[in-house]
Structure formats: structure tokens, C-alpha cells
Amino acid sequence: LSENNAKPIWHPMAHPAEMRASPPRVIMQGEGAMVTDIDGRTVLDAVGGLWNVNLGYSCDPIKQAIARQLDALPYYSGFRGTSTGPSIELAYELAQWFEPEGMVRSFFTSGGSDSVETALRLARQYWKIRGQADRTKFLALKKGYHGTHFGGASVNGNANFRRNYEPLMPGVFHTPAPWTYRNPFDETDPAKLAALCARAIEEEIAFQGADTIAAFIMEPILGAGGVIVPHEGFMPLVRDICDRHEILLIADEVVTGFGRTGAWSGSRLTGVKPDFMTIAKAITSGYFPLGATLISAKVAEVFEADKTSFGAIGHGYTYSGHPVGCAAGLAALAETKRLALNENAAARGAELATALEALKTKHAAVGDVRGKGLMAALEIVADRATKRPVDKKTMARIADAAYDAGVMLRVSGNMIILSPPLIVTAKDIATIAEGLDAGLAAAG
Ligand code: PMP
């Protein structure tokens, strides 16, 4: 086993030739927020797995819950009206957890892409049941990321995830993201930009015809697109627009759910009640693949009163409500609550923000820093005035130097994206800052 014989793996989101040119790091062990590679090097995982390992790599209660459930019942289908104990318990727990957002039902899935697909399909079915079968279109934000299934890829607002898979689902339209660093309006004031982006949505709705649109999907804070944090007024503006035009609002909370932003959801940061929420990732802290599409009372009532199609009869996954996943989820949520990880994300996030501002002052290559709680991004530019992004090689140098200094970073385009486990300490934040400092020094 070595880096060089990882060849039979076709890595997600990577071209095979690229992986051959630069062999992957092989991670063998994890403890707390640290991971150890095949050469025995231990580094702080500032990626948190992939935004998901909020409780770190050695959470005994989750491991024990998984072991207990494997003994009792490793699997039973959630199809045809059967359920398992953990899936029922977790659905109650999620309804409680997201009561402020108005969520009452959980449709379980195997991950984020499945959750998005479920929300898109149920949104269409909702309008069919209500006798408005022409409401089939979707609106979304440029730079948004919603997974890799055909529906999710279609609502994705980043060309990289779309262009090799055309034609995607027809009837999807994108409007500008409220991204202060780069936007078509050249507007840097967050509140003014939010208003301009809301107006662009209104214009698109007028152009399409509101009665052709099923739903608007957005991440409350755009994650993979580069941690774009809208002004707090933006999501309420979107909710208001959707209400006036009777368009459903899907909040994709796959990254923002369960405390990463400092609140239990991104929607809760602004008091918005969406019609659907998609969750995954941190629901089990990465210990088991699981996701859910959460459904509001407004939507559930329409399905439950329906006499013709009996709810989501045409949609479901073999692993919907997997009992081991749900047991892992129950244990992860109990630990997340016990440790008040939302509060730690807010406190450590404030320290991280201060450290990132200092790095921006020190390194001219840092064009912008932004974030909320423990999700943050740095934009690396060749020239601050023109905001011209640095090349791939520079980004690889930054990541390698940071790794040598003891910190695993994620680079995406010209951005460094940070999403460490939510259990990190103040000392861990200092370590991340040191790793970034070493990385940026290597940017040249
Ligand atoms: N939605 C968002 C907002 C995401 O960030 C992701 C994954 N990064 C997904 C959906 C897809 O989730 P998964 O990779 O678990 O399918």
C-alpha cells in the first residue's frame, strides 16, 4: 500500500491524469481533529473530512451506537411501510431540532445529492397534486453547489460541474449570488448587493412567469462556491419574493446544518422558514453515509391530503432510513448538542476571522477573506487591484507548504476553503493560522 498504488481508484472531482501527476495523500488514522497519513505524518484537518466530521475522528458514542445497531439489526428497508426503530427516533429528533424552521417530516436519503434530488422531485410533485402541473422550473444562484445528480447538477451554478454533462435538466435559471468580492453590479456594500440580487430574481420570475416555477433553491451560505456569505437581509428577501409568487423555497443546508455557522442552521441565522431543507454530512459527523430532506407542514399537508398519488410513491432509496446510519445520526446529534458545538463554532470562528484578517494584512496574495462560524475562505490573487486569480500550481504550493507545517488545507480554484471539525480549540485555530502563514509564504 502506498500513494502510488491508489491508481485503481477513480477519484471524485479529479481527472485521473492529474491524480497520476500528483499522487493522493493516503490517510490511515484519525484522532480528534488530527489525521495521520501513510508516512506517519500527523496534521490538523482544516477540511473536517469534507465539511462533515464535526465531532472529530474519535467520537466513542457514535462508534458504540453503530456497533450496537449492527448487532441488533444491520439493515431493513424503509420501503412499503416498514420502518426501523432508529429511523423513527431520528425523524422525531430532527423535527425537534428544526422546529424553529418549521420542519415536520424527514425523508431519509444516503447523502446530500440524494437529499437535493428528493427536494426537487417532491417540489414538482407538490404542484402536480395542487393542480398546477405547469410549475416545473427551478431558480437557483450562480456559484451555488447542490451535488452531482442530474437534478442537482442542473441547479448548480458553477460551469465546472455542468459543462461535461450537458444537456442537463431543462427549465433551470440562475441569478447572481450576493458575492461582494466579485459581482456583475460592482457593488461592495452587502445590503445594497442583497437588494440588487433580489431584484434580479424578481426580474427572472417576471420573465419566466411565476406560474411556471416550482421552487427556488439556495444555500443560506454558499459553501463549495467559495463561502459566499450573503447579507443577513438576503434570505428573508428571497423568502418574501417566493411567498408573493407562491414559489417553494428549498434551503440546501448540507453544509450549513448542525452548527457550522454558529447557529443550528443557516436558515435560523436569518429567521427564515423554508419549505424544504436538505441535510447530510454532519448528521452523522461522517461516520455513516446519511442525509434527509426535511419537509415543512405546508408541504406535508398537501401530500397527506392527496388521494391520488399517495405521497412520494415514485421516489425512494434502498438506504432511505438505514438503521445503522440513523443510529449513528442519533448519537452524533446527542454529542453535538451536549458539547454545544454551535457555540464553539461561533467562538472559534471569531478567532479564525481575526487570524485571517491578520494574514490578509501580512500577505499581498490574499485578496479577500470571508466566513461565518467555522466555514471560511481566502481568495488568492496575483494582483489585488485586478483580483486576477493565481494559477493552479501556486495553489498546490500553498497546500503542500501548509501540509509540511502540519495543516491539511482544501484548495478549490484560487480559493482556500476552511471547514475544520467543530470540536477545535483556540490552540487548533492558532495552528491553522500558522499552517496558512507557511502556505502563503510559499505562494511566492
Ligand atoms: N449540497 C451542498 C450544499 C453540498 O455542499 C454538497 C456536498 N458538498 C451536496 C449538496 C452534495 O452532497 P453529497 O456529496 O453528500 O452528495
Do 122 and 268 lie in one domain? The reply is yes
Backbone φ/ψ region at 48: left (φ over 0), alpha (ψ -120 to 50), beta: left
Distance CA(105)–CA(94), nearest Å, equals 8
Q: Which domain-ending residue is among 338, 365, 394?
A: 338
Does 255 contact ligand 1 (Cβ within 6 A)? yes
pLDDT at position 16, please?
A: 72
Ligand 1 neighbourhood includes 294 CB (under 6 angstroms): no
**CATH code of the domain containing 362:** 3.90.1150.10
**Is 380 in the same domain as 238?**
no
- 317 Cα: distance to centroid of ligand 1 (angstroms): 17
Q: Contact, 263 vs 141, CB < 8 A?
A: no
DSSP alpha helix (H) spans, 98-214: 112-129, 150-155, 190-208
Does residue 331 sit in the same domain as residue 366?
Answer: no
Asked if residue 410 and residue 315 are part of one domain, the reply reads no
Q: Give the C-alpha separation, 97 to 103, whole Å.
A: 9
**Structural domain for 238, as ranges:** 63-338
Q: What is the pLDDT of residues 314-352, one digit of tens each?
A: 899 999 999 999 999 999 999 999 999 999 999 999 999
Instruction: Note whether 183 and 228 are within 8 A (CB).
Output: no
pLDDT at res. 14: 80
Q: Same domain for 318 and 188?
A: yes
71-97: pLDDT as tens digits: 999 999 988 889 999 999 999 999 999
Query: What is the C-alpha to C-alpha distance for residues 372 and 15, in angstroms, rounded to an integer?
Result: 31
Average the pLDDT over each of 10-14, 89-93, 249-253, 419-423 and give the range with the smallest value: 10-14
Q: Which atom of ligand 1 is nearest to the CA of 152?
A: 10
Same domain, 99 and 36: no
208 vs 213: CA distance, rounded Å: 8
For residues 407 and 434, the answer to whether their CB atoms sit within 8 Å is yes
What is d(CA 384, CA 365) in angstroms, rounded to the nearest whole number? 7
Final residue in a domain of this structure, among 338, 359, 393: 338
Q: What is the pLDDT of residue 332?
A: 98
Q: Are 97 and 86 in contact (CB under 8 A)?
A: no
Specify whether 102 is located in the same domain as 167. yes
Question: CB atoms < 10 A from the CB of 360, how many?
Answer: 18
Q: Which of 28, 52, 112 is nearest to 420 (CA)?
A: 52
**Helix, strand, coil distribution of the chain in percent, nearest 5:** 45, 20, 40
Q: Same structural domain for residues 294 and 353?
A: no
Best mutation site among 13, 52, 108, 113 for ligand 1, i.e. most ligand atoms within 8 A of its Cβ? Answer: 113
- For ligand 1, whether the C-beta of 102 sits within 6 Å is no
Cα distance between residue 344 and residue 48, in whole Å? 15
Report, as an integer, the average pLDDT of 406-411. 97
Claim to verify: residue 305 and residue 350 sit in the same structural domain = no
Task: Report the alpha-carbon distance of residue 372 to residue 229 in Å, rounded.
Answer: 7
Residue with cell 437557483: 140
397 has pLDDT over 60: yes
Structure-block grid coordinates of residue 186: 460592482
* Residue 282 Cβ contacting ligand 1 at under 6 Å: no
Q: Has residue 311 got a pLDDT over 60?
A: no
What pLDDT does 165 receive?
Answer: 95
Q: Number of structural domains, the chain?
A: 2
In the listed set 275, 305, 338, which residue is the last one of a domain according to the structure? 338
Residue nearest to atom 6 of ligand 1 (CA): 147
What crossing angle do the helices spanning 190-208 and 234-244 adopt, rounded to 10°? 20
Q: Is the CB of 112 under 6 A from ligand 1?
A: yes
Ligand 1 contact, 113 CB (< 6 A): yes
At residue 4, the pLDDT reads: 65
21, pLDDT greater than 80:
no
CATH code at position 76: 3.40.640.10
The answer to whether residues 287 and 355 belong to one domain is no
**Cβ of 111 below 6 Å from ligand 1:** yes
Ligand 1 close to Cβ of residue 143 (< 6 A): no
Assign residue 112 a region: left if phi > 0, alpha if psi is -120 to 50, beta otherwise?
alpha
CA 411 to ligand 1 centroid distance, Å: 17
Amino acid, res. 142: K
Are 192 and 263 part of one and the same domain? yes
- Ligand 1 centroid–CA 23 distance in Å is 25
343 CB neighbour count, 10 Å cutoff: 12
| 408 φ/ψ angles, rounded to the nearest 5 degrees | -85, 120
Find residue 293's DSSP bridge partners: 107, 278
Question: Which residue is associated with the grid cell 446544518?
Answer: 257
pTM of the predicted structure, to 2 decimals = 0.97
pLDDT digit string, tens, across residues 410-424: 999 999 999 999 999
What percent of the chain shows pLDDT beyond 70?
97
ipTM over 0.90: yes
What nine digits make up the cell of 286? 461522517
Give 283: exposed, middle or buried? Use CB within 10 Å, 0-12, 13-18, 19+.
buried
- Tell me the three state secondary structure of residue 109: strand
CB of 344 closer than 8 Å to CB of 421: no
CB of 252 closer than 8 Å to CB of 218: yes
Give per-residue pLDDT as tens, 48-71: 999 999 999 999 999 999 999 999
Together in a domain, 376 and 272: no
